[in-house]
Amino acid sequence: LLEYLGPVAQKNDYPQFERQARGDVERFVVSKIANILLYQQAKK
């Protein structure tokens, strides 16, 4: 994620970067939470 967002941040001003990065960050966080929940279920 950081490898992708670094160049995006350098090319854009903050509002444009925020619009562009928001979806990617949201998908990343949701994916991590889903993985944690799946892991917890698998341990039971």
Domain ranges of the chain: 2-43
Phi, psi angles (nearest 5°) of residue 12: -125, 160
> What torsion do the CA atoms of 28, 31, 32, 34 make, to the nearest 10 degrees?
160
Q: Rounded to whole angstroms, how far apart are CA atoms 43 and 16?
A: 42
The model's pTM = 0.69
Residue 12's pLDDT is what?
84
Planar angle of CA 18, 20, 24, nearest 5 degrees: 100
Write down the residue that tokens 């992708």 correspond to: 4
How do residues 1-44 score in pLDDT, each as one tens digit? 788 889 888 988 999 989 889 999 999 999 999 999 999 999 98
